[in-house]
Amino acid sequence: MKKTNIFKSLPFKLIVGVIIGIIVGLVLNQADGSSFTSAVLNVVVTLKYILGQIISFCVPLIVIGFIAPSITKMGNNASRLLFFAIVIAYVSSLGAALFSTGAGYIIIPHLSIATDVEGLKSLPEEVFQLSIPQIMPVMSALVFSVFVGLAAAWNKSKVITQLLDEVQKIVLSIVTKIIIPILPFFIGLTFCGLAYEGSITKQLPVFLQVIIIVMLGHYIWMALLYGIAGAYAKKNPFDVIKHYGPAYLTAVGTMSSAATLAVALQSASKAEPLRKDMVQFGIPLFANIHLCGSVLTEVFFCMTISKILYGSIPSLSTMVIFCILLGVFAIGAPGVPGGTVMASLGLITGVLLFDDAGTALMLTIFALQDSFGTACNVTGDGALTLILTGYAEKHHIEEVPFGLE
């Protein structure tokens, strides 16, 4: 068995990036006003922007490179697997929303939460913007992958299948040689900016109670998901979740399911209970349509803010309608920082009747906790992929060759 050097491992690099980023950010916060501080902040902001652009550019490529080839290899089984995957993703998000609603009615009336989130410092603008537009939006890439994959499977197109196999190998090289090496730097720069602004030292304690409660909700929901997945697939779910440390940390640092996709694929591919073809198909798909952690977070925060600003929690019927629609919106939400809440702003204002103040406070608080909601989304994808594996085995769907190691 090959030994791995812990100092060269991705989790270690991510943790070091976070620690260094926070320390540098706090030092810059204390030395604010000097020309040196301004120069360093300009470098931090500009580098973070450029690295973020590179990661963002690669996300549609990863989606196309893994989902389309996986669907073509499934042949006649592609349609029902896709339908089953969408159903379990929606059920998970809806279940998380209803779970959060129930907890909100029980817990929120007993909380006393401050609302002062002002007084933060502002980061400077980028020195220059190296804009790297995506070749297409992520949801367009997802729909394109599904359509091409299904059409190739239906027509038994060998040429397209072989072409997509080559595309998958190219994308895998991009992931392992470009995305993963730059992630620790991107995450370190992100936390440096947060520490300088004061988000870590000033904003976080303001809603610490709510954030801790929501995090506990995430862990409870993940435990429930993995318990159900293990029982359905008749496999040990711990053999999956134990590999998700790097993906969890990356999600915390990037606040984006899409940006975490490369690491999530690596983590899931190491899990023995997961079929590799289901990993290639499920992980990129769920990264875009399964946002259970973000949904759980948004529901609880909406109820909390409603209590703070408007004096009462929305009625049960209103919350049930909100949860049902939010589950649908979550499927179409972009896997980027704040994607769920941005996609559902219409629901927040239309169903919950939030005004501008409520919407602004919702966006602010959600941003504080978005990291852990995203980490729940990403880790939960492993459970749904385990369910997919169980479904494939129960229905005797033959395993196809894979390209992940």
Query: 163 with 86: CB under 8 angstroms?
Result: no
Query: 196 with 29: CB under 8 angstroms?
Result: yes
CA dihedral defined by 370, 374, 375, 380, rounded to 10 degrees? 140
pLDDT of residue 99: 96
Q: Distance between CA 320 and CA 69 in Å, rounded?
A: 38
pLDDT of residue 115: 45
pLDDT of residue 48: 87
Q: Where are the domains of the chain?
A: 10-394
DSSP result, 380-402: HHHHHHHHHHHHHHHTTPPP---
The Cα angle at residue 371 between residues 225 and 360, in degrees rounded to 5: 115
How many other C-beta atoms are found inside a 10 Å radius of the C-beta of residue 239? Answer: 15
Select from 1.10.150.120, 1.10.3860.10, 1.10.730.10, 3.40.50.150 the CATH code of 10-394: 1.10.3860.10
Helix (H) or strand (E) holding 345: helix 345-350
Query: 291 with 309: CB under 8 angstroms?
Result: no
Give residues with Cβ within 8 angstroms of 48, minimum separation 6.
186, 189, 190, 193
Query: 196 with 25: CB under 8 angstroms?
Result: yes
Q: Distance between CA 77 and CA 316 in Å, rounded?
A: 40
pLDDT of residue 3: 46
Q: What is the pTM of this model?
A: 0.69
Cα 165 to Cα 71, 280, 281, distances in angstroms: 11, 12, 13
pLDDT of residue 333: 62
Supply the DSSP symbol for 34.
S
The Cα angle at residue 375 between residues 372 and 378, in degrees rounded to 5: 155
pLDDT of residue 199: 63
**What would the two tokens of residue 126 be?**
């980028």
**What would the two tokens of residue 317 be?**
């019927």
pLDDT tens sequence for the chain (405 residues): 344 466 666 667 877 888 898 899 889 888 877 888 889 999 999 998 898 888 878 878 877 887 788 777 766 666 788 889 989 999 999 999 999 999 999 998 887 654 445 566 778 788 877 888 888 877 788 788 888 988 888 888 889 888 988 988 898 788 778 887 887 888 788 888 878 877 666 655 556 788 889 999 999 999 999 999 999 999 999 999 999 989 998 888 877 777 788 899 989 999 989 998 899 889 988 987 888 998 999 999 999 888 877 878 999 999 999 999 888 777 766 555 666 676 677 778 888 888 766 776 777 677 667 788 889 999 999 999 999 999 988 888 877 765 544
Residue 330, CA atoms < 13 Å, CB-side half-sphere: 35
How many residues comprise the chain? 405
Q: Distance between CA 311 and CA 167 in Å, rounded?
A: 55
Query: 70 with 286: CB under 8 angstroms?
Result: no
Q: Distance between CA 288 and CA 128 in Å, rounded?
A: 30
How many other C-beta atoms are found inside a 10 Å radius of the C-beta of residue 154? Answer: 13
**What would the two tokens of residue 216 be?**
């506990």
Of the candidates 362, 347, 345, the residue with the CA atom closest to the CA atom of residue 310:
362
**What would the two tokens of residue 180 be?**
């993963």
**What would the two tokens of residue 88 be?**
């379990």
**Which residue bears the tokens 């991510």?**
14
